[in-house]
Chains A and B, each alone.
Chain A
């Protein structure tokens, strides 16, 4: 009898345990999202698929506050939310919501419009810029925004080499930490003046770049090294929380000086697998996704609930050849031969319709693009001849470094690597593929460990300087933090690029850039591969979403049904 009793007790306990465990999932998930985020809590219960499309409506009606949450799905997490220290698109995506720059880009193009600065003036020789600042703006921590804060931020960026973009854009180095900016002064509470050592044509465009966002000095002092996890800006969204490799939650800033966001909350979710992310988009648990598998585009176009929005093209995907390495890669003939040995038409089919072949290191949508340059074309015989002339007639072995994850300018890097391996194999060059994840790939290529490497660039400010100077000038071929991972050093190109930077007359600048592209074409430090229009999968519930050519955009214009 007692044994029987024990058994029934045991089974009752088991039953209770099961019930509790079953409910626990829901509770855990919603408390995770601070209880109000109906769309995302639904994500965590993937088995709860019976009502996936309708539940967001029905469950949000349960909520008294009825929040609108926009969920953005992406492949990798941000590195840091201090935009001045990062160069990766995934970080910038988020900081673009939290911060403002002095000036911002127009929706959908790179024309500059007012933001934290409402008016500006430049003296005749282009060296003194005066900005009139917006009054009554508050940082998310409640402190007032004044000219002193602008000065504070600019001075902070000159204190160390960590502020990568400052170095790229203003030519700062260890010996000259401030670069071309001689001084930044607050003339009054709402007036700030920049004095440059020499004129800089893209200066205003550059100030609109997300890395030069103005952060709250109080917060920077308060959090110190940990500031990258606690961003405080003036932007349309406030930072709420960051669960690493899972999600970043932002809420709307009701006091925003520009257009106040229509959605109440934005969640950036990390879903590494492209197919899994697409399935979540299909089931309605995320609203916008980047990094689509090319194969899924047609599926999305045929789905009544989804649309494909293409980001305007302002990028280039390329294979850099490390000219600083002893051996074949330092030979111009070999680099030209590699350009000739690759059938770009074939490579482009791996873009499945989202890419156009590239022949220059900058996209044709920018002014200054040299369309007179004729691409190398596919000629393996000529390639073999050049290799023989260079003394490598018997072939050689090289390593091709590639990232494992898709990038907007290269959706299928692994396949590209294999295709190139095959094509170069036909002219006697044996290619070893070295695949690394994104962080490692960046670190290794910046360190010049590669012979050849894939990489790409999405323009930040719509100026050719942002491509040619950042990616191919000798100033940026510093081992350890290189933007120029071909480590291409040509003084002639350098002179042209510097002249173009300091010249204010656009026609002359165009002329310099055309010439620079010709020399670069001849020296062939790269195999330029493609310019893409990266597709974004977007739910039909989302309207007014205009992707920006620079790769990210503030979400305050987006409407969500």
Chain B
């Protein structure tokens, strides 16, 4: 799907000045004008950089235990202190960023693929197909998301992969709803009518014409969802249903550190901050993106 965006976006890059009124470039410049979204973007870029270069950024092996040096306070050797097994918290957070990105991308990927497919089919074909799909979505929506995720993991068995699948499924309804409503308005437009009149097959109309034109809300939703997905997966790991030891997952780190909340607060504080900052980053960026892509804000 992102390939579609590029093909429609690429030709315009060359003629940047001439065609500055294109949706994507316009939005980009608006996005960069907003301070909060730039902050969000910076946080995301830092996260990606840390994840890719984790071995160079970290100072210790994230799973190396030093049991005689448990709950050490932050020092020059252990920048953020050590945890309940004497592992370096800073290095664990650094390596944990890989897991967080993995969760964010894969879980949202799952929700996006399923959600977009369901939404587009429901919106385009309408009638009983729409009814069946949307009632199913309503059922999914009726559960509190974390509860549904817990139930799914309980069935699948606790592991990081299953946590990602569960969080992905929980996110499906949001995509399905947004895509459906977008499709409903696009399918009434004249160019779709024209395409249909000239005998273009349904599949082609859906994926060549409707989908690329509903990309903007999907992208916004995806960005916002990554933050939520990371948070949900951390919640699952906190409950012991996600990442299994010794994986340095942030939620699991929180859960392991809570016993020493009063005596060694850094064990729980820094992973908590990491989650907070990253989720904030995705939310700020997502909000900025939504404003930037909203055609009504076009000058």
B-contacting residues of A (Cβ < 8 Å)? 274-275, 293, 295-296, 298-299, 346-347, 349-350, 404, 412, 414-415, 417-419, 421-422, 433, 435
Cβ of B85 and Cβ of A419 under 8 Å apart? Answer: yes
Q: B67 and A404: CB pair below 8 A?
A: no
Q: Considering the chains assembled together, what is the distance between the CA atoms of A329 and B262 in angstroms? A: 41
Chain B residues, CB < 8 A from A349: 67-68, 70
Q: Given A404-B240, A435-B240: A346 and B67 within 8 A (CB)?
A: yes
B85 touching A415, Cβ below 8 Å: yes
Q: How far is A347 from B68 in the complex, measured between Cα atoms in Å? A: 10
How many residues of chain B get a CB closer than 8 Å to chain A's CBs? Answer: 19
Interface centre among B63, B68, B240, B246 (most CB of A within 10 A): B246
Residues of chain A within 8 A of B261, CB atoms compared: 275
Q: Which 8 A-B pairs have the closest CB atoms?
A: A346-B67, A295-B263, A418-B245, A422-B65, A293-B259, A295-B260, A349-B67, A415-B84
Q: How far is the CA of A349 from the CA of B263 in the complex (A)?
A: 16
Contact flags B58-91 to A (C-beta < 8 A → 1, else 0): 0000010101101000000000000011000000
Measured CB to CB, the closest approach of chain A to B63, in angstroms, equals 7
- B244 CB-CB contact with A under 8 Å: yes
- Is B26 interfacial (CB 8 A cutoff)? no
- Chain A residues near B244 (CB-CB < 8 A): 433
Interface contact B258-A275, CB-CB below 8 Å = yes
| Majority DSSP secondary structure for residues of A touching B | helix
Q: Which residues of B sit under 8 angstroms from A415, Cβ to Cβ?
A: 84-85, 256
List B contacts of A419 (CB < 8 A).
65, 67, 85
CA–CA, A296 and B263, complex, Å = 8
Given the known inter-chain contacts A414-B245, A415-B84, A418-B246, please indicate yes or no for A295 contacting B262, CB distance below 8 A.
yes
State the Cβ distance, A200 to closest chain B Cβ, in Å: 44
**With contact pairs A415-B84, A415-B85, A421-B245 given, residues A350 and B67 touching in the complex (Cβ less than 8 Å):** yes
Q: Is the CB of B246 within 8 A of A295?
A: no
Q: Looking at the assembled complex, report how far the CB atom of A406 sits from the nearest CB atom of chain B, in whole angstroms.
A: 9
Q: Which B-chain residue is minimally distant from A404 (CB atoms)? A: B240
Q: Is the CB of B246 within 8 A of A412?
A: no
* Distance from B64 Cβ to chain A, minimum over Cβ atoms (Å): 8
Residues of A near B259 (CB, < 8 A) are 274-275, 293, 295, 412
Expressed in whole angstroms, the minimum distance between the Cβ of A170 and any Cβ of chain B is 40
In addition to A404-B240, A414-B245, 16 A-B residue pairs with Cβ atoms within 8 Å of each other are A274-B259, A275-B258, A275-B262, A293-B259, A295-B263, A296-B262, A298-B263, A299-B262, A349-B67, A349-B70, A418-B65, A421-B245, A421-B246, A422-B85, A433-B245, A435-B240
Residue of B nearest to A348 (CB): B67
How far is the CB of A7 from the nearest CB of chain B, in Å? 34
Quote the shortest CB–CB distance from B229 to chain A (angstroms): 24
Residues of B within 8 A of A298 (CB): 263
Residues of B within 8 A of A433 (CB): 244-245
Q: Is the CB of A417 within 8 A of B245?
A: yes
- Decide: A346 near B68, CB < 8 A? Known: A274-B259, A295-B263, A415-B84: yes
Q: Which residues of A contact B260 (CB under 8 A)?
A: 293, 295
- In whole Å, how far is B76's beta carbon from the nearest beta carbon of chain A? 23
Contact residues in B for A295 (Cβ distance below 8 Å): 259-260, 262-264
Is the CB–CB distance between B246 and A422 below 8 Å?
A: yes
Q: What's the minimum C-beta distance from A235 to chain B, rounded to whole angstroms? A: 35
Q: In the bound complex, what is the Cα–Cα distance between A227 and B244 (angstroms)?
A: 41
Please, what's the 1-or-0 string for B250-279, where 1 marks a CB less than 8 Å from any CB in chain A?
Answer: 000000101111111000000000000000
A71 to B259, CA, bound (A): 23
Q: Which residues of A contact B70 (CB under 8 A)?
A: 349
Closest-CB distance, B260 to chain A (whole angstroms) = 5
Q: How far is the CA of A116 from the CA of B125 in the complex (A)?
A: 81
Q: List 12 A-B contacts (CB under 8 A).
A: A293-B259, A299-B262, A346-B67, A346-B68, A349-B67, A349-B70, A415-B85, A418-B245, A418-B246, A419-B65, A419-B67, A422-B63
Minimal beta-carbon separation of A137 from chain B (angstroms): 46
Q: Which residues of A contact B245 (CB under 8 A)?
A: 414, 417-418, 421, 433
A505 to B264 Cα, complex, angstroms: 54
Distance to closest chain A CB from B49 (angstroms): 29
A177 CB, nearest partner CB in chain B, Å: 39
Q: What residues of B have a CB within 8 angstroms of the CB of A404 in the complex?
A: 240
Residues of chain B contacted by A296 (CB below 8 angstroms): 262
Residues of B within 8 A of A412 (CB): 84, 259
Rounded to whole angstroms, the CA-CA distance of A295 and B258 in the bound complex is 11
* Nearest B residue to A296, CB-CB: B262
Q: A421-B245, A421-B246, A433-B244 are in contact. Are A414 and B256 (CB under 8 A)?
A: yes
Which residue from chain B places its CB closest to the CB of A347 in the assembled complex? B67
Question: What is the bound-complex CA distance between A414 and B240, given in angstroms?
Answer: 11
CA distance A336 to B218 in the complex (A): 58
- Distance in angstroms from A357 CB to nearest chain B CB is 14
- Bound together, the chains give a CA A296 to CA B259 distance in angstroms of 9
Shortest Cβ distance from residue A148 to the other chain B in the assembled complex, whole angstroms: 50
Q: How far is the CA of A274 from the CA of B262 in the complex (A)?
A: 13
A487 smallest CB distance to B (angstroms): 25
CB distance from A299 to the nearest CB of B (A): 7
Q: Which residues 188-247 of B have a CB within 8 angstroms of A?
A: 240, 244-246
Q: Once bound together, how far apart are the Cα atoms of A102 and B39, in whole Å?
A: 75
Instruction: State in angstroms the CA–CA spacing of A412 and B260 once bound together.
Output: 12
Give CA–CA (A347, B240) in the complex, Å.
Answer: 22
| Residues of B98-153 contacting chain A, CB below 8 A | none
How far, in angstroms, from A422 to B63 measured CA to CA in the complex? 8
Q: Closest A-chain residue to B83, C-beta based?
A: A415
Chain A min CB distance to B87 (Å): 9
| B85 contacts across to A, CB distance below 8 A | 415, 418-419, 422
